[in-house]
Amino acid sequence: MTPYKHFKCNQCGSDLDYAIGLHSLKCVSCGQVDPIEAEPLDQYLAHDYKQAISELSFFDPQTVSHELKCENCGANFTMPQNVHSEECPYCDLNVVVPVDHERHLSPDGVIPFEIQQQQAEAAFKKWLHGLWFAPTALKRKAIQAQAIQGSYMPLWAFDAQVESDYTGQRGDNYYTTVRVPTRVNGKTVMQNKTVVKIRWRHKSGRVFNQFDDVVVMGSYTLPLKFQNFLSRWDLFKTKEYNEKYLSGFRSELYQISLPDGFKLAKEVMYRTIRQTVRRDIGGDHQRIHSIDSVYHAVGYKLLLAPMWISAFNYKKKSFRYVINGQNGKAYGERPWSIYKIVGAVLLLAMIVGSIYVFSQQ
């Protein structure tokens, strides 16, 4: 059986859950409060990436299932794969399994929940009602497929210094006059017209970027298309990892390996690198032919981030959504109304056509 921890009240023996916003455990029965002693995570903390890779005996995390015996009711049960904090399905005892012996890399910090469940549910409804080009019946017929669940999900945060050599072209606008046929009073006449042309020339160089805390997902539970939304956190509020923050919530082990996490981070960094290259090329237009980047001083840390996760059903399809447990912002999969999209395109075409006809007259 897997060893685990649970937190009980010294006054009445009931469960202690993490009290959102109080940085404390709170008894579910008598209300006794037990403050959590956790220091803010050092913002300069970063483990050496190359050293970690050389010391890991495997890159891909192994699937983990915990077999447990509940000390409260005596039942045997198995946690879902890659979950290390959950409730006993028979008596709701809060159970937290230490992660040290399950992964070579343990969490460095935890971003505590600040958004209550009621706030998360309200944020979802607001998001649902604000969707553009959604079916009209969505707001009436969307059915919550499962209860919203508070979960801590793993995130990787990477630092890096990047030197990038590039080749490309710089385009500068210049103006010239050409003779063009023009209709005047029903007749075609030749008139001068000033037009803009582009003068291209080769450009190459080197740019430098420094990245701090590029956040990427560490789990496959949510689709990777949620990546951009799930990278927005106030990391200054991160606390040193303490298992007490997990009490009463589900928490997952990382499923995306450290090297794969760095690949995701490189994709995020690449967008910034391209912007830097464009600025270095200058001019009115830029063409980028190649970028060759070298990554120095790569560091990382593993964090647990708070999310309220659920799904809703619409027309026999399930759509997942998530609410950021720190700031209450919502994001998710959603249905689209083809009729509204086609209508908007036709309306835009009519407006553009009207403007063109007016300009010709």
Which residue's entry shows tokens 């890991």?
A: 56
Domain annotation covers residue 93: yes
pLDDT along the chain (361 residues), means of 10: 80 90 90 91 93 77 75 79 81 78 78 95 88 78 79 97 98 93 84 92 98 95 90 95 93 92 97 98 97 98 96 86 95 82 79 72 58
Q: What are 258-276's pLDDT values in tens digits?
A: 999 999 999 999 999 999 9
**Which pLDDT score, from 0 to 100, does residue 182 have?**
84
Domain annotation covers residue 9: yes
**Which pLDDT score, from 0 to 100, does residue 82 have?**
83
Q: How far apart are CA 333 and CA 324, in angstroms?
A: 15
**Which pLDDT score, from 0 to 100, does residue 102 have?**
53
Q: What are 340-355's pLDDT values in tens digits?
A: 777 777 778 788 777 7
Q: How far apart are CA 101 and CA 6, in angstroms?
A: 18
Write the DSSP string, 308-321: EEEEEEETTEEEEE
Domain annotation covers residue 188: no
| pTM (two decimals) | 0.85
Q: What are phi and psi of 181, to 5 degrees?
A: -75, 135
Rg (CA), the chain: 28
- Which stretch of DSSP H or E encloses residue 48? strand 47-48
Q: How far is CA 271 from CA 97, 274, 323, 341, in A?
A: 38, 5, 26, 29
Q: Is 235 helix (H, G, I), strand (E, B) or coil?
A: helix
Domain annotation covers residue 21: yes
Q: Is 88 helix (H, G, I), strand (E, B) or coil?
A: coil
Domain annotation covers residue 294: no
Closest to 242 (Cα-Cα) out of 9, 39, 22: 39
| Host domain of residue 28 | 1-37+64-102
Exposure on the CB side of residue 259, measured as CA atoms within 13 A = 11
Domain annotation covers residue 73: yes
Domain annotation covers residue 174: no
Q: Is 196 helix (H, G, I), strand (E, B) or coil?
A: strand
Domain annotation covers residue 170: no
Q: How many CB atoms lie within 10 A of CB 336?
A: 13
**Which pLDDT score, from 0 to 100, does residue 360 have?**
61
Q: How far apart are CA 17 and CA 139, in angstroms?
A: 34
Number of domains in the chain: 1
Closest to 194 (Cα-Cα) out of 181, 178, 183: 178
